[in-house]
Structure 1
Amino acid sequence: MKDRLSDGLYGAGWATVKKLPEPVAAGLGRRIADLAWKRRGKSVLRLEANLARVVPDATPERLAELSKAGMRSYMRYWMESFRLPVWSKERVERGVDMKGAHHLEEGLAAGRGVVVALPHLANWDLAGAWATRALGVPFTTVAERLKPETLFDRFVAYRESLGMEVLPHTGGSAFGTLARRLRAGGLVCLVADRDLSAAGTEVTFFGATARMPAGPAMLAQQTGALLLPATLWYDGPVMKGRIHPPVEVPDTGTRAEKTSVMTQAVADVFAAGIAEHPEDWHMLQRLWLADLEERPEREGGTA
């Protein structure tokens, strides 16, 4: 019943919100966010606990302000995502200001293939729509399998409508397909600040140990593709972003050692971007190993 309800709610969102005038949809998102924040449910408390690591000197009042702003940012992500399929190329271009795009364009022009790694900042789907519609560059990504399967199918169809090729995280050979796309000079975009496999690479993140996916670094090593970290944030009506310089493959070390160095470099870029805009980091799950040890069962994803 819970699965069917979730699927129905998301379906209603995609069907209804995209028909609303944009200011109405934005206002609705803020009201839903404020209601969820006031209820102080598990997701809000987890967001606050995560933000306490990002802003360790924050007072309880400041953390409450950040978590409220964070829930508004998170619901803005959903309101925009429900509307993205009907946004024109011009609307996407108007809504995104991306710095450092030359790193991406030069890498693709050289035929090397490019891996862009992003954290759960602002709206990564909007960044994807910017790549496919504003730059005209299709790309491949990986999505966590959600329950029920019909909900996962909705997300796949939604992202494919934006010009993405979507591979399931489990139940297939995603890594091999990504490697083939990169060897052909293509673009791969991966949300990479939360490990879903429990076999990721350990990094130091805001002074404590966390695991992050090893895939971006391993793909860059195996295929010769550029590895470009990216960060995003909201600034008024516009989502801004920055594509950072490439993370180089170390000259020496084993594959595991190189992966560790590269993943830490990506984590450091993520941390700097999150510290600048903590209210736009949509991490409503446990991330650090110390927190995972307190409650080993895996929490749900943010799609």
Structure 2
Amino acid sequence: MLDRVLIAIARNARFIPESLLRGLFACAADICWLFGVGGVRQLERNLRHVLGAAGTDNAGISNAGTGTSQSGDVHQAGGTTVSRRRLRQVSRRGMRAYFAYFSEAMTVGARSEQQLRARVRGDGPGLQGLIAYVHDSTGSAPLALGHQGNWDYAGFWAHHALAPVTAVAERLGNQKLLDTFVHIRESLGMRIVLTGQKGITAQLREQLAKPNVVVALLADRDLSRHGEFVTAFGSTIRVARGPATLALDTGLPLYAVNVFRERLHGDQRRKAKSRYGYVCWFEKPIDIDRYRSLPREEAIRAISQAWVDVWAAQITRHPEDWHMLQPIFLEDLDLSRLSDVPDDILAKIAGNAA
């Protein structure tokens, strides 16, 4: 049912007032949040780790071991206790941001180029170096992203501000919905490669061998046999090996990218015709050379840990923009269904169970 609604919205985007659609999606987000459906409970389990790792000392978060906080019930996470009130506040904002993404993605065909340009910008200490490398020169680079903000808008921005974008998209069960998403992303200037193809890594290496290309990978969750276990938010998650593998094999710099919302003002808001836009935040690139002396598998794992460390730091600053509504942390995974689990991870599981 939801798939058909999204497809219908995308096909009729020019006839639907954006403010009306945003309001309807915000209402739907609040209903899901209120009744704990649509992935809300899993989102909150994930956010406990993020908020605990952030260790902020306000809004009902207190030091571990105190038992309670000023706002009532608490949840142990990442060395701090996170209050139920704080968790619910952030999860509500998270669901609203998640639903806002869908309302924006499905109606991108009705937005002018001026509107889109006003709705997204780049920032961060690594941005100017990346522009010089892939836009002003002939370099190419892989980018590691998470399910955060609006990655379709981010792809549009990167296509115009950096270089032509090749992005990997998950193959969905609903072919019509998949075709809709592919069409949306191609209309924004991206070249789409679908998961499940043979030789996908080789295809991406070929793209990166060309001048002025960026390969964007949503890499913060991978439960396949090829996923890499890394430490994040005081726990363990399994991420895609793609960013680390491509960077190691090509020798190109690897950039971790975060995408989060910001409130727009003044002329930018008038051009965007929206109260909110997005920031694509780039830290400085991961130094791949420091890992070349390691055996290949160790190097891939170390590079994966390096980009996750950079990426996770920004997630703790913008937790409401991380749209992770699926199990990702070790505590929530059914390890009996996963293969190639490293011995140290198995030892950690055994230690937790003891």
**Fold similarity call, TM over 0.5:** yes
Deviations 1:44-89 (A, max 9, x none): 1000110011112321111111111110000111111112223222
Q: Which secondary structure state, in structure 1, belongs to the residue aligned with residue 82 of structure 2?
A: coil
Instruction: Give the match for residue 242 of structure 1.
Output: 281
Q: Which secondary structure state, in structure 2, belongs to the residue aligned with residue 226 of structure 1?
A: coil
Question: Do structure 1's residue 107 and structure 2's residue 133 form an aligned pair?
Answer: yes
Instruction: Give the match for residue 347 of structure 2.
Output: none
Distance 1:272 1:294 in 2: 27
Match of 1:213 among 230, 240, 246: 240
For residue 268 of structure 1, report the CA deviation from its aligned partner: 0.9
| Contact 1:114–1:227 (CA under 8 A) maintained in structure 2 | yes
Match of 1:20 among 11, 16, 29: 16
| 1:42-81 equivalences in 2 (<5 Å) | 43-56=39-52, 57-81=81-105
| Contact 1:33–1:72 (CA under 8 A) maintained in structure 2 | yes
Q: Which secondary structure state, in structure 1, belongs to the residue aligned with residue 328 of structure 2?
A: coil
Q: Aligned letter for 1:211?
A: R
TM-score, normalization by structure 1: 0.90
| Contact 1:112–1:226 (CA under 8 A) maintained in structure 2 | no
Match of 2:294 among 253, 256, 267: 253
Q: Which consecutive segments of 4 or more residues in structure 1 shift more than 4 A?
A: 294-297
Deviations 1:133-182 (A, max 9, x none): x4273211111111122222222122111111111110332211110010
Q: Aligned letter for 2:20?
A: V
For residue 122 of structure 1, report the CA deviation from its aligned partner: 0.8
| 1:11-160 equivalences in 2 (<5 Å) | 11-41=7-37, 43-56=39-52, 57-100=81-124, 101-108=127-134, 109-132=136-159, 134-135=160-161, 137-160=163-186
Q: Aligned letter for 2:154?
A: A
Q: RCO (CA 8 Å, sep 6+): is it higher in 1 or 2?
A: 1
Query: Larger C-alpha radius of gyration, 1 or 2?
Result: 2
Match of 1:289 among 330, 335, 340: 330
Give unpaired runs (5+ residues) of structure 1. 298-303
Instruction: Give the match for residue 270 of structure 1.
Output: 311
TM-score, normalization by structure 2: 0.78
| Contact 2:327–2:333 (CA under 8 A) maintained in structure 1 | yes
Instruction: Give the match for residue 349 of structure 2.
Output: none
| Contact 1:232–1:273 (CA under 8 A) maintained in structure 2 | no
Give unpaired runs (5+ residues) of structure 2. 53-80, 264-275, 339-354
Distance 2:13 2:23 in 1: 11
Q: Which secondary structure state, in structure 2, belongs to the residue aligned with residue 204 of structure 1?
A: strand
